[in-house]
Amino acid sequence: MAALKRLIQEYKELTLNPPEGIVAGPKSDNNFFEWEALITGPEDSPFDGGVFAAELVFPQDYPLNPPKMKFISEIFHPNVYLDGRVCISILHTPGDDPLGYETAAERWSPVQSIEKILLSVVSMLAEPNDESGANVDASKMWRENRDQFNKIAAGLVKKSLGLT
């Protein structure tokens, strides 16, 4: 019940004060634990102008644990697995990183919000972390052949807009 109450409150806040370039909300009025989002690619990034669809699935113990986030739109990015799952620190379970890569402060905590997740994903689109690649090919291309990476991203922007 606490999770549902929190999700309803966050939805109200997102509706009243939506972050620029982001639209998000429950897929249906009957299930506040499954959301859809549209994220506009950030300006001056390889994804500038694209509109990318994603879904968030919240656990029953939200906000104690983070949601899972996955792009539905095709995206080629160092921090997005081939199946669309987003890999960023804020979506990792709370506490210390067993691998010692992230600090506990970088990972999920109950004070985070859906808005913060979505803004973090926008930042991730603009500035990938190629040191922690979920997509090794995209990470390598981002580091070694930025022109080719940008060309692929531009094609995906067009595809996201239904232009190809």
Q: Where are the domains of the chain?
A: 2-160
Residue 142: the pLDDT is 96
CA–CA separation, 83 and 77 (whole Å): 11
State pLDDT tens for residues 67-112. Answer: 999 999 999 999 999 999 999 999 998 887 777 777 788 889 999 9
- Please say if 87 is a catalytic residue: yes
Residue 97: the pLDDT is 78
User: Of 12, 21, 3, whose CA–CA distance to 118 is shortest?
Assistant: 21
CA–CA separation, 108 and 20 (whole Å): 23
Report pTM. Answer: 0.93
CA–CA separation, 11 and 101 (whole Å): 32
79 neighbors 134 (Cβ within 8 angstroms): yes
CA–CA separation, 141 and 17 (whole Å): 37
CA–CA separation, 39 and 80 (whole Å): 14
Q: Look up residue 59 and give its amino acid.
A: P
The domain made up of 2-160 is a member of CATH 3.10.110.10: yes
Instruction: Please report the sign of the dihedral spanned by the C-alpha atoms of residue 78, residue 83, residue 86, residue 92.
Output: negative
Q: What percent of the chain has pLDDT over 70?
A: 100
CB atoms within 10 A of CB 95: 10
Residue 98: the pLDDT is 76
CA–CA separation, 49 and 41 (whole Å): 5
Confidence of residue 26 (pLDDT cuts 50, 70, 90): very high
**Which residue would you say has higher pLDDT here, 138 or 131?**
138
**Active-site residue (options: 54, 75, 87, 90):** 87
Which residue is it, tokens 């004060």? 17
Query: Rounded mean pLDDT of 119-141?
Result: 92
Confidence of residue 131 (pLDDT cuts 50, 70, 90): confident
- Which residues sit opposite 86 in a β-bridge? 80
Classify burial at 36, counting beta carbons within 10 Å of its beta carbon; exposed 0-12, middle 13-18, buried 19 or more.
middle
